[in-house]
Copies of this chain bind each other. A is one copy, B any other.
Amino acid sequence: METLWTPLILVNLKTYIEGTGKKALELAEKAEKVSNETDACIGLAPQYTDIAQLAKTVSLPIFAQHIDPIKPGSFTGHVLPEAVKEAGAVGTLISHSERRLKLAEIDAAIRRAKELNLVSVICTNNASVSVSAATLKPDFIAIEPPELIGTGIPVSKAKPEIVTETVKLVKKVNSEVPILCGAGITRGDDVAAALKLGTKGVLVASGIVKAKNPYKMLLEFAYAITTA
């Protein structure tokens, strides 16, 4: 994954109203503009209902926020990997702290993602869980201490040792998987700090989606990540 996709700014639109429907599309167009202006790789993880429209409209990698580890069948209300793929997603978050999966489900979801050439980003909450996830050979690990999510206190400042320990320990079991970090990232400085700690990018949500001026904020992130 490293050559093509990193360093990566991955924007999780969650179920924010500022990231739903028409507003998701507007945000995606701003992100595409920033990406064109800076050559930064920006990925977007919108809601399921918005994947198709975003994938059709912008030339940025689109991620699902979750997939269920299922094959086609009788699973009303579930998220079929084939469906997000056909809608245009190129990857998916797996086991975000707001949508955690059982261990055997993470294993199965990564397999399903591989079968369909979907890039898998496993979200983790600490160093030991990151190591455990890394052995399952996902394409990315995104470490986010849950207690910092949405706080505006960047993990790269509040708990840099969690990030450096994760980078160090994950390397021992899987030297290829790039690490992203997230939680509390709201400024370009936080992004630069994350890269200095050994990560290959950031997973960000409210810092961009709920910013007063998402275009400007993404631009700041993009400069930070391309000049780091």
Give chain A's interface residues, CB within 8 Å of chain B.
12, 14-17, 20-22, 45, 47-53, 65-66, 70, 72-80, 82-84, 86-87, 93, 95-107, 124-126, 128-129, 131-133, 135-136, 149-150, 173, 205-206
Contact = CB atoms under 8 A, between A and B. Distances in A.
Contacts of A206: 74
Contacts of A98: 74-78
Contact of A126 (B52, B105, B107): B107
A14 B96 contact: no
Contacts of A74: 14-16, 98, 149-150, 205-206
A75 B13 CA distance: 10
Given A87-B21, A103-B100, A66 B76 contact: yes
Could you say how many copies of this chain the assembly holds? 4
Contacts of A80: 15, 20, 47
A101 B103 contact: yes
Contacts of A106: 103, 132
A110 to B, nearest CB: 9
A28 to B, nearest CB: 14
Contacts of A124: 103-104
B76 A99 contact: yes
Contact of A76 (B52, B93, B129): B93
Contacts of A126: 104, 107
Contact of A129 (B87, B100, B103): B103
Contacts of A20: 72, 80, 82-83, 86
A129 B150 contact: no
A96 B104 CA distance: 11
Contact of A132 (B14, B86, B96, B107): B107
A95 to B, nearest CB: 7
B83 A107 contact: no
A83 B135 contact: no
A132 B76 CA distance: 22
